[in-house]
Amino acid sequence: MNLTVKDLAVFTNGNPNKKPIIFVHGFPLDHFMWDKQVEFLSDDFYCVRYDIRGLGVSPAGDGQFTMESFVDDLESVIDELKLNKPVLCGLSMGGYISLRALERMQDKFSAVILCDTRSESDNNEGKLKRAAGIKRINTEGLAPFTKDFITNCYGEHYKQNNKTDLEKRIIKSSQFDPAGVKGSLLAMLGRNDTSEFLGRINIPALIICGEDDALTSPAVMKSMAEKINGSEFVIIKNSGHLSPIENPEEVNKAIGDFLKKL
């Protein structure tokens, strides 16, 4: 961590005078998930990552989060670091935060990259699954929940070829504060639906989806991309829900090509 903003752990790489990109990670992960993108981009861009409140090393506090409070946190990081019109890049829960941030304050951003995410809020089945997750964490502890959740995120290709890495990531997330993980589940359960806003996105948008994403399928993401004027839609081979980790080469190429055109 190189600085804190309102208790949030913030990590910066690159020259602050270059164009900023702010990365918002998925659940139940932390800023590490963007390592390969930051490695690729930090010579030419000012890369800013942070651990979402309650995950990674950002403290959970009372664990009472909403999607609104997550967007407030994102805004605090942007304001505190005086980022001028950053590119916003979010994956899955980070995408929910990004979409709501655009709905609230699109003018603050110059472009958006949405990876493996959706604009719809949770349906009844989804809400009950979140509630079952919270109950499981309360009764069995965090480790079995993170093991199943994270394993389900990855595609078969990654799982077959990166067993040690997968284990390490599960162990890391199992050490998060359970109050923070449960707080994120509640924030996702209670988030608003941003679908109606998609047609009003007026900044360049890149939509990225792993071909084997079991949580936000290519069909769901293609339909989202079609509602965003002029957006680009890229499918990533050999990847499930965590495309920036599973196939960083293809994701970096898509992001690099997109950023060149801005």
Which residues contribute to the site for ligand MLT (CB under 6 A)? 26-27, 92-93, 153, 188, 215, 241
Name which of 100 and 241 has its Cβ closer to ligand MLT: 241
Name which of 153 and 254 has its Cβ closer to ligand MLT: 153
At its nearest, how many Å lie between ligand MLT and the CB of residue 244?
Answer: 11
CA angle 148, 246, 32 (to 5 degrees): 80
Name which of 40 and 70 has its Cβ closer to ligand MLT: 70
At its nearest, how many Å lie between ligand MLT and the CB of residue 215?
Answer: 5
Name which of 171 and 214 has its Cβ closer to ligand MLT: 214
Name which of 19 and 191 has its Cβ closer to ligand MLT: 191
Rounded Cα gap, residues 92 and 114, in angstroms = 8
At its nearest, how many Å lie between ligand MLT and the CB of residue 26?
Answer: 3
Rounded Cα gap, residues 201 and 204, in angstroms = 8
At its nearest, how many Å lie between ligand MLT and the CB of residue 25?
Answer: 8
Six-digit token string for 46: 């000012």
- Phi, psi for 12 (deg, rounded to 5): -120, 145
Rounded Cα gap, residues 19 and 111, in angstroms = 11
Name which of 92 and 231 has its Cβ closer to ligand MLT: 92
Beta bridge partners, 77, equal none
Name which of 26 and 204 has its Cβ closer to ligand MLT: 26
213-217's contacts with Cβ under 8 Å and 24+ in sequence apart are 213/116, 213/155, 213/239, 213/240, 213/241, 213/243, 214/152, 214/153, 214/155, 214/240, 214/241, 215/92, 215/116, 215/152, 215/153, 215/241, 216/92, 216/116, 216/117, 216/118, 216/241
At its nearest, how many Å lie between ligand MLT and the CB of residue 72?
Answer: 19
At its nearest, how many Å lie between ligand MLT and the CB of residue 153?
Answer: 6
Contacts of 67 (CB under 8 A, 6+ apart): 96, 97, 100, 187, 188, 190, 191, 192
- Phi, psi for 122 (deg, rounded to 5): -70, 135
At its nearest, how many Å lie between ligand MLT and the CB of residue 188?
Answer: 5
Name which of 81 and 236 has its Cβ closer to ligand MLT: 236
Six-digit token string for 47: 């890369």
Closest to 189 measured CA to CA, from 110, 135, 244, 238 = 135
At its nearest, how many Å lie between ligand MLT and the CB of residue 133?
Answer: 9
